Every structure is written in C-alpha cells, then in structure tokens.
Amino acid sequence: MAPKNWTKETFTLNTGAKIPAIGLGTWQSKPGEVREAVKAALQGGYRHIDTALAYGNEKEVGEGIKDSGVPREEIWVTTKLDNPWHKRVEDGINSSLKSLGLDYVDLYLMHWPSSTDPNDLKKHLPDWDFKDTWAEMQKLPESGRVKNIGVSNFAIKNLEKLFADSRTKITPAVNQIELHPNNPSPKLLDYLKEKGIHATAYSCLGSTDSPLYKNEKLKKLAENKGKSVQQVLLMWGLQRGSSVIPKSVTASRIMGNFQLDGWELTDEEMKEINSLPERFKVCGDSWLPVKVFFGDDE
C-alpha cells in the first residue's frame, strides 16, 4: 500500500463527521501572533484549527480564519468549555462563538473534568461535576451551534464515571489528550478505541523546547529518513490513529509540520519510538482543584 497523503486525510468520528488528521494547535500562542499563524496555516492547506476559551485567543483565531479567504464550510474548528464555566454551558458556547465570529463550531470539548468554582479557582463546585456538565453539553448539537461534542484530558477512570451516569446518552466523539512518545498512553488509547472515541493528540511534539528534540535515537531515525524530528513525531501520532494538532506561530514551522505526505514510518521504526523509556507530561493536574490523572493510561 502506498503511503498516505496525510494532509488530505480525515478520521471518521462516531457521529459520521470527518475530522482532518492534521490541525493547528493554538495553546500558548499569544493573541498578537495567532491571527497570522491561523491565516498562514489555512492558506498553506491546513483545514483544522484548535482553540479554547481558556487560551484567550479565540477572537484572533476567528480573524485569522476570515483573513485566510478559505470558505468556512471547508474548515474544522474546535474550541473548548473552560473549567469555571461548567455550570454555564450555554454562556460558554455563546461566548466562544461571539469571540470567534462564527455561527457554529465543528467540535466543542469539555476542556478538563474539573468544575472549578468561578469565584475561587482553587475550589471545585460542591454541587456540580463533569457528569452534570456533560448532561448540559448533550443539548448543544440539536441547537446547530455545535456539530460534535467531546471531552479533553479524560482518563479511563473519569470516562467510566461518565458512562455510568444514567443521563449520559451521547458518547463523546473525541477525547483530546496529551500524546507523544514520552506519554504514549496505550491503555487509554485501547479503551477509547473500544468505546468508539477518537483521540486527538495535543503537545504531540512534547511542547516548546521538548526533550524529544534532543533524543539521540529520534534524531538518528529522523536523519536517516531525511525528515525533522518534529515530522517523525507527527507521523508516529498519525500512524497510531490519532489526529495531531502541532502548535506553532512561525510560518516556516507551520508548513514544516505539514510535510507529511507520501512517506511513512516502518513497523520497525514505530517499535523503536514506542520503546523510548523516558516519561514526562507537559500538562499535569497540580493546578486544578481535583486530581484528573490517575496513572491508568499506560
């Protein structure tokens, strides 16, 4: 079989919707930079843009979408409900749509399974949790403002809790999670597959100044293929069946991350990357009022 042209590939969600395999992540992208980054990505062929209320850059993301000249219906836009808004799902989506300047988003995610008290971010709401939030989010698709709903940063334990709730009628279409060779989460991925939930990988390059860029094994493997370490990391993610949303605000890097057509990693190369022993997480849960990672992903 010929290698795939990943820049044109999609993954089919449990709703039948098709999410583009490669997107532009905008976490930690400053408002002043992100408008140009989104425009450059879309004009360069990207068709999937990921943002969130918590990033504080939805307005600029929306402007970049408009600047690009690419028709709205060709673009997949994901945004997320922020933790202090769990009790105000309706306000949350309306705020995001207003900032983005859009009538709808393709995917709306619960950013974290933490219903944080808006008056005290160190506290969790006593009378509300993510199961209540999901019950509210389930009402959104029929409103037409949200095409698909999903979750983010959900471990197996919290997904089990969600499925055990009698109000859960809709299975999340996506779980957006941190995935890279030093946080590979095979057990969680198997669980998601079994439940028909697609995984999108954030921090798929291991974030800015990633230790993965200095990994000798990866550097050698990339060099032998005439590719960058970043391209190898993205291909590893794609070949494991997850969509990837590398973040960059530099036009040359944005396009470098998109050079994923017509080549692939062999089974041996995949095995070699899978065998990297180091473990780290870019994004932990110590800043949240509740624990959301339980070591049940590997």
Which of these is catalytic: 46, 55, 108, 202? 55
The reply to whether 111 sits in an annotated binding site is: yes
Annotation marks residue 213 as catalytic: no
Q: Which two tokens stand for residue 113?
A: 């399974």
Which residues fall in the annotated binding site? 111
Which residues fall in the annotated binding site for substrate? 111
Catalytic residues: 55
